[in-house]
Structures are given as C-alpha cells and as structure tokens.
C-alpha cells in the first residue's frame, strides 16, 4: 500500500508502506500543512528518499544532521557539535571532504590556533562521521589535523 494522504483537523497526514515486498516499512506522520499540493509533494519526496536509500545504500541519504542525532543518541559528548551542525546542516556526509572540513574550521573560528581548531572542529566532525561508519551508514574519514605549536617552558632565574 503506497503512502496515502488524508486530512485531520485541517492538517494533512500520511500513512502507508513503502519498499519491496520482503522489506516493507510502515510510515505514518504529519505533513504539518493545510495545503494539499505541498503535502502531496512532501510524501512524494519521502517515498523518493526511501527508494534512493534502498537502491543506492544508506550513504546516499545520510545527512550530517542525522549522523549527529545518532552520535548524541549513543551518549557521546557533544560539546562542540552545535556550531558544526548549524554550519553543515543537511549536507550529505558523502559530500564532505578533508578540505571542506578544514575550510569550515577556519570559517567558524578564524582566530583559533591549530590545536584549538583540532579540538573544536576537526576531531568532533571526524568522530561523528566515523561513528556513523561503524553503523555501516557511510565510509570512515580521516582528516589531517592542524600543526600544533609547542612552546618550550623558559627556566625561572
């Protein structure tokens, strides 16, 4: 049964199943709109997203925001994730590269040193992506970290 659109208290909702016969998945939810055309478009996009993930694998539809949700749900620390998640938003994880992550680090914190950029951006981003990779939702990623300057202590006279 494909997704059906129905109206309840002026708001459109959907229900039904998507997927091949052996792996059908039941979906129910609200479109949060009173416009039938917008609601029909939303359920069409929902079905298309499911089929894209089914045929191309989960990496084709995994966004960084969803990877952050999975990371937080597992109880991991999310100290620096808010700014990174706001910057990347619904960017697909497969579209991220080492260079784009380093550029993001410089844009988010232009005055930070290399060690601070590593701690605030590169390590949390890499941790989220690699956590999703352990669940086989994408491929793991390594990012070259910024060079940390080491200051040798001066002796007290």
Residue-wise pLDDT tens digits, 76-101 = 888 889 999 999 888 888 888 889 99
Residue 155 — very low, low, confident or very high, per pLDDT cuts 50/70/90? Answer: confident
Helix (H) / strand (E) element for 25: namely strand 25-30
pLDDT tens digits, residue range 49-69? 777 766 666 667 788 888 888
- pLDDT recorded at residue 125: 92
Q: Answer for the pair 68, 128: CB distance below 8 angstroms, yes or no.
A: yes
Q: What band does 13 get if pLDDT is binned at 50, 70 and 90?
A: very high
Mean pLDDT of the chain: 85
Q: What is the pLDDT of residue 110?
A: 92
Between 150 and 62, the more confident residue is 62
For residue 37, what pLDDT is reported? 92
Contact 52, 78 (CB under 8 A): no
Quote the CA–CA distance of 93 and 129 in Å, as a whole number: 7
Residue 116's φ and ψ, nearest 5 degrees, are: -70, -35
pTM of the predicted protein model: 0.65
Bigger pLDDT: 45 vs 110: 110
Computed from CA positions of residues 73, 66, 102, 104, in that sequence, does the dihedral angle turn out positive or negative? negative
Give dist(CA 138, CA 57) in Å, integer. 9
Write down the pLDDT at residue 57.
64
Contact yes or no for 63/57 (Cβ under 8 A) = no
Query: Any idea where the domains of the chain sit in the sequence?
Result: 4-56, 60-134
Average the pLDDT over 128-133 and give the result: 90
Q: What is the pLDDT of residue 55?
A: 67
Contacts of 47 (CB under 8 A, 6+ apart): 2, 3, 18
- CA-based nearest residue to 61, from 132, 143, 142: 132
pLDDT score for 1: 57
């Amino acid at each position: 049964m494909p997704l059906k659109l129905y109206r309840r208290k002026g708001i459109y909702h959907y229900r039904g199943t998507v997927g091949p016969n052996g792996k059908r998945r039941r979906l129910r939810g609200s479109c949060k709109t009173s416009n039938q055309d917008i609601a029909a478009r939303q359920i069409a996009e929902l079905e298309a997203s499911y089929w894209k993930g089914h045929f191309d694998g989960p990496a084709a539809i995994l966004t960084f925001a969803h990877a952050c949700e999975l990371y937080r749900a597992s109880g991991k620390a999310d100290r620096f994730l808010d700014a990174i998640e706001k910057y990347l938003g619904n960017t697909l994880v497969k579209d991220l590269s080492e260079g784009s992550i380093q550029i993001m680090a410089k844009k988010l914190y232009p005055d930070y040193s290399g060690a601070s950029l590593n701690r605030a951006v590169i390590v949390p981003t890499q941790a989220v992506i690699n956590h999703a990779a352990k669940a086989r939702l994408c491929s793991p990623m390594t990012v070259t970290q910024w060079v940390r300057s080491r200051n040798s202590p001066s002796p007290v006279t």
